[in-house]
Structure 1
């Protein structure tokens, strides 16, 4: 797909989304709308706020073609390119939506529908946008069956759709308020990691990449969260005999430095 075709297809998608949600046209009219990146951001914003309702096959076909074309223009990193820092453990810094592993972990909220704030800079937003709106629809389907908000410390698995990874594992970590990290919150974070590991093994995944669950928007202190992550993963691999290969994915330099230090001990 050349640039002109990609621009045209993005325009088609934006027109369809705008027709669905005319109340947001004025908001997005303030966005730049010239380049591929400009148009992608408008498309992304509409997808972020779009409720989980049926969509036409034609829209999905166009969306998938656009997302797959954009993926070819990004620097995807295959798991086979990574080197372990310990047996079965890997550390990689970068955008998790560029990592081609069997599965990646999404730090979800209890609604499990992805970030609904237009163009918000969080991992939940990035994963849902790059996967396509099918991911929100799939999450909505199992949430309707569940009938209530997703509890903390559990894990669910969906297809990765247009991501380079085959699956997305969704987990809700604990939110840290003014009381700080309590034993219950620490146990919930451990449970989130264990649940993802078990789901990955149950579905016979060979590799799984964890984001830094509960840090950032959920305010779990970075170093404490990293300790829980490493301890829980190492204990699980040791006690279960699992062959799963685990990537600790970090985005910030400070998290990379924390993990490097802890994994070197």
Structure 2
């Protein structure tokens, strides 16, 4: 029998954040078994760890319907789970996206450092299809934050809306958006409303994973940090706060840090173990 620990990530409240499964030793598990465990649990992702020696782990991430190359909230959850058993400190997660260092402090708050990110423009036809699937119009967009594909371990489409009301009113065509995302190798859409220069509210549809919406998305947060830096909308040493999950009744808090001289993006948050 596979032991699956359950956590809520990017929160200290068990009723908030994004739930993740964690398997601390998946050495003997096949791909089919990992997918079945993730599907049975039903969370956005479950992290499967294989110890490599010391504080290094191979980590694979499965959503209910697919494997994803990298998942931020399950990384935070897995790091806290390891730290609860072995103590705080530095970890190294070897993922399909690359090497992801994770530091866990004495308060069991984890900070992941992404793989090197990149940002790409979106052509008009792709933008129109994404908007149609969301039932959004071009008039809903914030023209100061143009659409971009952004990657920091997983690929996302960043779309910024001009109003908080538009972000709150999310009802999309599940199959149409999933088809679009599959064609463009997207894990989520990062839908954004800017409250201030350093505070944002975000939502992440995740139909390709069999989930209507991801409540707190660390991989997308890292990609979004890279996006803001690419556009010159964030300074070289910026600290950003992302609020996510409020519209789902599961609020989470993600902290994004950019450092001058380092193209990678750091994403921090808490995690709490679920016992019920």
Is the pair's TM-score, using the shorter chain for normalization, greater than 0.5?
no
Higher helix share: 1
